[in-house]
Each structure stands twice: as C-alpha cells, then as structure tokens.
Amino acid sequence: MASTAKDVVIRQALLEDFEAVLSIGEMYGGRDYLKTLYLPLLENKDTYAVVATIQDVVVGFSMTTTFDGGLTVMRRASRVHEKFRGLGIFHMMKEELEKYTREFRPQVKYETLANTNKVDHLADRFLQSGFQSIYRRGIMPVMVRPPYPLCSTESSATEPAQVVDVKQLTHQDLSLLFQSEERSPRVFPRRRLFNFFLGYRLMDANIQNILCDGGGGFYSLRRRSDISTEHSQVNGAAQTHNNSEKSSNQFSTHSPIQQDINKGLDPESVNHVAMVTFFFCYRTLTGIVCYVDVYSEPHVSSDHLREHLRHNLLNLQRLFPGQDGRLTLAFDLHISKDLIITSLDGFGVRDVLLGQEQFQVLYERIRES
C-alpha cells in the first residue's frame, strides 16, 4: 500500500539516526558534508535538526543553524528519499523547523539561503518571498592530485622586502580584523563573509564557526612594493600612477609595515592586511573536499594569491596526505579567474572541472515579527 502524507511523522533528529540519514542518498554532487559533520552539528546548541519517518523508517532530514550571535538562521542539508518525494515532506520539515525557531529562538531577525548560478532560474521566487540578493562571488572547482610541487614555477621575489609572508589566523587576529574600521571594509567590501556557502556578519560570535575543526585561515600583509605601481595584480589591471600615488598617500600616516614573526596581528599591523583566505576541508563518501574562500583589497599583487594558494595546498596535503580531492575556490569578482588558473597551474593543479557552478549567491530577508 502506497504511503500518504498522513503516514509521515516529523521528530527531532537523534545522534543514532546517523546511518539512516546517510542512507537517504548523496547530495551536492559528491560534496555532501553530513558524513563528517552530522554528529558535531547535532551536538551544537546552534543547530536544530529534524527527520521525517514513515513507519519508523527515516525518509527525510533537514536542519537549521543560527549564527551572528543568534540573529540569523539558515536551513541546510535538506533531503528526502527519492521513493517518498511528492508527499509534501520538505514542506512539513520546513514548518517544524520554523515552529521551533519562533518558539525557542525569538531573537532571530534574519533568514538566509545560499545558491549557485545553476538555480538562477529560481531567483524570482526568492525575491517574491522577500529575499534580497546581497552577495555574489565567483567559484571555481578543481581536482587536486598529489604530489604537486610546493614551489610555484612562476618567478618569485627573493629579496626579503618582497617576500609575501603568509601566517595562520588566530581568534585574536580575526577579531582585530573584524573590528578594524580601516581594513575590514577593504578586505571584506560587503562587510560580510560568505564562506562554505554560509553568510557571516563580521562578528566575534562567528569566529568559532570559522576557525574550527577542519577549518581555519591565513592572512598576509602589504609589502612596501604593494603600495607602489604594480603590473601584476589580482584584478589583472595595471594600477595608474595616480592610483599608486593615492595609495602611497593613504598609507603615509602609518609606520613601516613590520610585524614580529613570532606574534600575530596587533592594532597597527592589522591596518596592513592585504589578503585573507579561509579553508574548510572534510571527507565525503566519494572523497576529500576542500573549500578555500579568498578575500583581498583591490589591486593587491598577484604574489599574495600565489602564496596563499601554496599555503592552502600545503594545508590540504597535511590534513589528507597523498589523497586526491576536490578543491573549490570562491572569490570576489574583482579577482581575476584567469589569474587563479595561472597561479594553480604553477603548482601543477590544472584539472579545472568544467560544467560546474560559476557563482554562489547569498540571499537574505528580514523575518516577520
């Protein structure tokens, strides 16, 4: 006898539902993160998850995560077994999650969703539901197959003053960067992060979700040469003499760019951050997946990009030695995709995946009271 909507029961997801939820089916084209994140997400106080069951068999799953200190909610990882679609299970799970948010998270003010250009045809539906498109970034997936050379075949500077020094971000570093009224608008022009398809405000409450198990970040400071005219820049356009002069004047109020190699950022050096990259890597049923989100001020030297890519490839090799994986780079649209391809090529990473998403889009709406 065929199942009907009346047979569906929605309840809170349990840790012991892990295998049943995974059996619903693979999601996101082999990038499904639930194999790695199901248990920690369910143990996270900011996550609420439900399953749909029919005769005690799990046939659907969905969850919400709150961030921005509880101001924002996002529904994630929703899925229904293909044999039970058409019964309204997605809607029932959505309603249960909405009910929980209203009752137990009354402080939530914003709701977000993230998509790619592959569902741009649904944009009108999102807009009609009150969502606004607030952030659009480029994305590019590539396959990485070690061993790959750790030194780029591109020529690089050997003078100490020209070397791009990439350091790992600490909680204190990122907090200083978020609070910097000078740097954060230049490095994060939307005053937001859009990492791993999650849109974060620049708030300390979010740092635990960014610098976490499997996730972290790197930063680099402007060199003296970055302030002068350069012919090879992240946006691929040569800076004019006037722009160079303007940049030099802009930074003339600061002392020379110096940082103790054994220390992180301080209130002075944070004003010279040129580029930040965040990574999040995990294992799926089909292999290794790593997201690298790139942020930079305009007109920064391409040397920064190459060094950040090198550090992220080293990090991927450290986390998953000798294993193939899928690396997805996300970047603001002033960063040249061709330059990213050229920089990866210098490390022997040449297998750009064709026919994949080219953009990711963050939508947001204000929730009704």
245 with 325, same domain?
yes
- pLDDT (average), residues 180-185: 92
What per-residue confidence (pLDDT) applies to 249? 34
Is the per-residue pLDDT at 240 higher than 50? no
248 with 338, same domain?
yes
* More reliable by pLDDT, 260 or 138: 138
- pLDDT (average), residues 71-97: 96
244 with 309, same domain?
yes
User: How far apart are alpha carbons 349 and 143 in whole angstroms?
Assistant: 7
What per-residue confidence (pLDDT) applies to 231? 43
User: Quick check: 59 and 25 in contact, CB under 8 A?
Assistant: no
Is the per-residue pLDDT at 21 higher than 50? yes
Q: Tokens 């740097």 — which residue?
A: 183
Residue 62: give the domain boundaries: 5-108
What per-residue confidence (pLDDT) applies to 151? 57
Is the per-residue pLDDT at 245 higher than 60? no
104 with 147, same domain?
no
Residue 226 lies in a domain: yes
What per-residue confidence (pLDDT) applies to 1? 62
Residue 290 lies in a domain: yes
Q: How many CA atoms lie within 13 A of 10 on its CB side?
A: 23
Paired sense of beta strands 166-168 and 325-331, if any: unpaired
What per-residue confidence (pLDDT) applies to 238? 38
167 with 315, same domain?
yes
User: How far apart are alpha carbons 85 and 54 in whole angstroms?
Assistant: 12
User: Quick check: 50 and 12 in contact, CB under 8 A?
Assistant: yes
CATH number of the domain where residue 209 is located: 3.40.630
Is the per-residue pLDDT at 316 higher than 80? yes
> At what angle are helices 337-345 and 302-319 packed, to 10 degrees?
60
Number of domains in the chain: 2
Residue 113 lies in a domain: no
- CB-based burial of residue 124 (10 Å sphere; 0-12 exposed, 13-18 middle, 19+ buried)? exposed
Residue 335 lies in a domain: yes
Residue 257 lies in a domain: yes
* Single residue among 108, 143, 178 that ends a domain in this structure: 108
Q: Does the model's pTM come out above 0.85?
A: yes
User: Would you report the helix, strand and coil content of the chain in percent, each value rounded to 5?
Assistant: 35, 30, 35
Residue 336 lies in a domain: yes
Q: To the nearest whole percent, how much of the chain has pLDDT over 90?
A: 73
User: Quick check: 302 and 343 in contact, CB under 8 A?
Assistant: yes
H or E stretch covering 11: strand 8-12
Q: Which of 232, 222, 233 is nearest to 268 (CA)?
A: 222
10 with 142, same domain?
no
* Single residue among 56, 91, 108 that ends a domain in this structure: 108
What confidence tens digit (pLDDT) does each residue in 208-221 have?
A: 999 999 999 999 99
What per-residue confidence (pLDDT) applies to 137? 96
CB neighbourhood size of 230 (10 A): 17
- CB-based burial of residue 163 (10 Å sphere; 0-12 exposed, 13-18 middle, 19+ buried)? middle
pLDDT band at residue 262 using 50, 70 and 90 as cut-offs: low
pLDDT band at residue 159 using 50, 70 and 90 as cut-offs: low
What per-residue confidence (pLDDT) applies to 122? 86
Is the per-residue pLDDT at 153 higher than 80? no
User: How far apart are alpha carbons 221 and 257 in whole angstroms?
Assistant: 8
Is the per-residue pLDDT at 14 higher than 80? yes
Is the per-residue pLDDT at 241 higher than 60? no
Backbone angles phi, psi at 308, to 5 degrees: -65, -40
165 with 306, same domain?
yes
82-86 contacts: CB < 8 A, separation 24 or more?
82/25, 83/59, 84/3, 84/52, 84/54, 84/59, 84/60
Residue 121 lies in a domain: no
Average pLDDT, the chain: 87
What per-residue confidence (pLDDT) applies to 299? 87
* More reliable by pLDDT, 130 or 250: 130
142 with 282, same domain?
yes
Is the per-residue pLDDT at 230 higher than 50? no
Is the per-residue pLDDT at 275 higher than 70? yes
pLDDT band at residue 305 using 50, 70 and 90 as cut-offs: very high
Name the token pair of 220: 């680099």
Is the per-residue pLDDT at 251 higher than 50? no
Between 28-32, 33-37, 331-335, the lowest mean confidence (pLDDT) is in 28-32
Q: Give whole-number Cα distances, 267 to 17, 161, 247, 254, in Å.
A: 47, 22, 20, 11
pLDDT band at residue 234 using 50, 70 and 90 as cut-offs: low
User: How far apart are alpha carbons 245 and 89 in whole angstroms?
Assistant: 60
* Single residue among 108, 123, 143 that ends a domain in this structure: 108
Residue 118 lies in a domain: no
CB neighbourhood size of 36 (10 A): 17
329 with 226, same domain?
yes
Is the per-residue pLDDT at 242 higher than 50? no
233 with 90, same domain?
no
CATH number of the domain where residue 23 is located: 3.40.630.30
What per-residue confidence (pLDDT) applies to 160? 52
Is the per-residue pLDDT at 250 higher than 60? no
90 with 226, same domain?
no
Is the per-residue pLDDT at 46 higher than 90? yes
52 with 172, same domain?
no
Q: How many CA atoms lie within 13 A of 66 on its CB side?
A: 19
What per-residue confidence (pLDDT) applies to 335? 94
Is the per-residue pLDDT at 303 higher than 80? yes
What per-residue confidence (pLDDT) applies to 319? 94
- CB-based burial of residue 356 (10 Å sphere; 0-12 exposed, 13-18 middle, 19+ buried)? middle
Q: Tokens 């294992």 — which residue?
A: 283
Q: To the nearest whole percent, how much of the chain has pLDDT over 70?
A: 86
Is the per-residue pLDDT at 20 higher than 90? yes
